[in-house]
Structure 1
Amino acid sequence: MNILFAGKSDFNYNRVQVLLSGLKKIPNVNIDYFSIPKRSSFDKNKFQLKADWADYIFIPPFRHKDVGFIKNHTKTPVIFDPLISKYLTKLDYGHFWKLPIKFFLDKIPFQKADVLLTDTKAHREYFIRKFSLNRDKVYHLYIGSDTDLFFPDEESNDKKKIFTVGFYGSFVPLQGVKKIIEAANILKDHIDIKFELIGGGYTFKKAKQKSEKYGLSNIRFRGRVEYNELNEIINSFDVCLGIFGDSEKANLVIPNKIYHYASIGKTIITRESTAIKEIFTNRENIILIENTATDLANAILKAKENSLLLKTLGTNAYQLILKSYNSVQIANHLLNIIAEFEKSSKTTK
């Protein structure tokens, strides 16, 4: 199986790195790359040589604009892994005036791709319904985790007096950081509980302002960090926070961080959603809450007071990743999707 990863960028994004890590460990799978930084300098002949070599062309997340361009230059089947809907993202931000154009910026490449991937079953159903897509071409492929990069480090779990509640992510509406700040305010008198927030973005300034308004000294905003620092940082957390947005998008996704937390064996607290329950089970390998700051604060307190629960949930989450959602498992799932697509294509001919 020869797979060409092609597009303008985003070969280094987490989703792609998990797939590449797994694919490289599977015999008889060959990988190549073709970057298209500028269409004005696009080398058509070089691309066609690589495209003819490939059995499939994989277009990475966010590269909606590359689908039509690549399809115009090859007959090799194209797999598009958008990861997001531009329409749904703008809806999440409340940018309603942008929705009509974003709808078609999703629909056109989604229709042109031979195989369309989604990160959850819930997201798959949304794509099919919203954009009137052929069900037979849309497949779910969970993100998973590269356990070579995210793994437990026992040295980071030494006894300490401060209970650290950790979060990392882009500060976008999906994340619901506002509720984390409000939970920290509820717990501000618990001097042995501290919040550590990693990342930046759209709501970062508002989050800091809200924290300052409450006069909170139990939150540390660390800003953005390098990707290769995340494993060590997450290992230092006692409990890890997922997402708390109220939008439809928040109900449909399982973000990267959830897999990373689980891969490191950490107890995870996140909002209950349709997507999260596809993989995780409440009180078995995760803590799912009603999406309020009060419920979040209560869940943190209960986790802090029950060390056995912390250990059990973290261990179970870790085992779940090792068994079913490591990079090789995810890569094999992609190959199974390709096999299913080929079988379906022969049937319809």
Structure 2
Amino acid sequence: MKIAFFGSYNKNYARNLILRESLRQNNIEIIDFYLKSERNIFRKIIELFKIYNNNYDILFITDNFRKFTFYDILLAKFLSIINRKKLVIDKIISLYVSGVIEYKHYKKDSWKSLMIHLIEIFSLKLANLVITDTMSRRKLFIKFFNGNPKKIKRVFLGSYDKIFYPRPKNNNKNKFIITYYGSFAPWMGIENIIKAANYLKDYEDIYFELIGDGPTFNKINKMIMDLKLNNVKLYGRVPFKILPDYINKGNIMLAGHFGQTIKAQITIGNKVFDGLALKMPIIVTNTIAIKELLTDRVNCLISKIDDPISLKEKIVELYENKSLRDKIAINGYKLFKEKCSMQIIGKNFKKYLFSLYEK
């Protein structure tokens, strides 16, 4: 089977890297119909004429973090009809939920919000198969956008385990390090990590190392300076290939979404899977989605969401209990190998792809 990645997708986005490699590991051939133009549908058509061929079985679109993906979907649907191919969409975000309901960038009764809502409905209807990352998000697509339950399937985000794998620990004996990586975005709730660090500033050996950047980076940096915290270090963004080495310096990894948002409730972020793949003891939050995969005190420790005091308490518990740290790290890695490795993710995705031709 050949699957064609189609449209103006980000080749280096973690979800795309993981899906491509997971399919390759399961003997699915991948070809690219990459279109540089994102906003201009006419330029897309011109580009498509230069690269298009009919030597594939499935057109695949990643409908993630881009406002103009619908142009790609329309083009792909047209091609799938005239060439009698199947169209598959990976959808792990809703612009309507984020932009209208949650962050209110558009008024709910405005024509823009109506258009976004209709686009999301039609995107789900045009696809022969939709994959998403959690059952919680699947339920949202069914409820808000009349998605067909029979054709929306879950494929976990997973981890790019060619670089995220257990490595020897080289912890500083004089420091107990809590690591976090990810986007500095409002839904991440990084201010709650800083508040927890403030509660723990009297512990002379506990340090926080935060990796990443984004819209709230300057706000977080100012918060650290205002609180005069010497136990927090911001690294900014680091290259993807060496990110595991930075995380591995830690004794604990903060892998949750620590802010209370809809997105946080329905997402199991890449950092969760990366922490499991690295065999790290992880702290997550009590979201709806996290219960699909993890069990408190078995393969993770679960903090209350949007609650820096609860987060502080979980950190202290792991700080004081090495046997619990070791237990959840070992069990977490075992769970990853059983359910979340690229080999397993590719196997599940492949099963859904082949089911399209069994009907």
On whether the aligned pair clears a TM of 0.5, the verdict is yes
What per-residue deviation string (whole Å, max 9, x for no partner) do you get for residues 256-302 of structure 1?
11100110001111111111111111100011111210000010011
| Two-structure CA RMSD over aligned residues (Å) | 1.8
1:97-150, CA deviations, whole angstroms, 9 ceiling, x for partnerless residues? 374443334233222222111100111011111101121221111111232210
- Counterpart Cα distance in 1 of 2:138 and 2:35: 28
**Which position in structure 2 is the counterpart of 1:220?**
233
Letter in 1 for 2:93: I
Sequence identity of aligned pairs in percent?
30
Q: Partner of 1:55 in structure 2?
A: 57
**What does residue 327 of structure 1 align with?**
342
Find out whether 1:3 has 2:18 as its counterpart: no
Give the distance between the partners of 1:256 and 1:133, measured in 2 at CA: 25
Q: Quote the Cα distance in structure 2 between the aligned partners of 1:92 and 1:189.
A: 37
The equivalences for 1:43-192 within 5 A come to: 43-49=47-53, 52-62=54-64, 63=66, 64-65=69-70, 66-75=72-81, 76-90=85-99, 91-97=101-107, 99-154=113-168, 156-158=169-171, 160-192=173-205
Match of 2:273 among 248, 259, 263: 259
**Equivalent in the alignment of 2:263:** 249
| Structure 1: gaps spanning 5 or more residues | none
**Structure 2 letter corresponding to 1:87:** Y
CA distance in 1, matches of 2:314, 2:323: 15
Deviations 1:149-202 (A, max 9, x none): 101110x33452111111111111221111111111111111211111111112
CA distance in 1, matches of 2:10, 2:133: 16
**Equivalent residue letter for 2:78:** N
Contact 1:239–1:269 at 8 Å: present in 2 too?
yes
Name the SS of the counterpart of 1:78 in structure 2.
strand
Distance, in Å, in 2 between the alignment partners of 1:126 and 1:24 is 30
> How big is each residue's C-alpha offset from its partner over 1:241-269, in whole Å with a ceiling of 9 and x where there is no partner?
12112012111010111100110001111
Query: TM-score, structure 1 length as denominator?
Result: 0.92
2: CA distance between counterparts of 1:80 and 1:8?
13
Which amino acid is the alignment partner of residue 275 of structure 2? Y
CA contact (8 A) 2:171 2:251 kept: no
* CA 101–192 in structure 1, closer or farther in 2 if over 3 Å, else same: farther
CA distance in 2, matches of 1:159, 1:180: 21
| TM-score of the aligned structures, taking structure 2 as reference length | 0.90
CA distance in 2, matches of 1:197, 1:94: 28
Shift of the 333–178 alpha-carbon distance from structure 1 to 2, 3 Å rule, reads same
SS at match of 1:80: strand
**Structure 2 CA distance, aligned partners of 1:43 and 1:299?**
53
Structure 1 CA distance, aligned partners of 2:173 and 2:272?
A: 24
**Conserved? CA contact 2:272–2:282, under 8 Å:** yes
Q: Is the 8 A contact 1:284 1:316 kept in 2?
A: yes
Please say if 1:35 is aligned against 2:34. yes
Is contact 2:179-2:250 (8 Å) kept?
A: yes
Question: Quick one: distance in 2 between partners of 1:209 and 1:128?
Answer: 41
The equivalent of 2:19 in structure 1 is 19
Q: Look up the match of 1:301.
A: 316
Q: Which of 275, 284, 298 lines up with 1:284 in the alignment? A: 298
- Runs of 5+ in structure 2 lacking a partner? none
Give the partner amino acid of 2:122: I
Does the 8 A contact of 1:137 with 1:341 survive in 2? no
Inter-partner Cα distance in structure 2 for 1:210 and 1:178: 8
Any idea what SS the aligned residue of 1:283 has?
coil
CA contact (8 A) 1:163 1:194 kept: yes
Residues of 2 paired with 1:93 and 1:315: CA distance?
38
Task: Check if 1:232 corresponds to 2:245.
Answer: yes
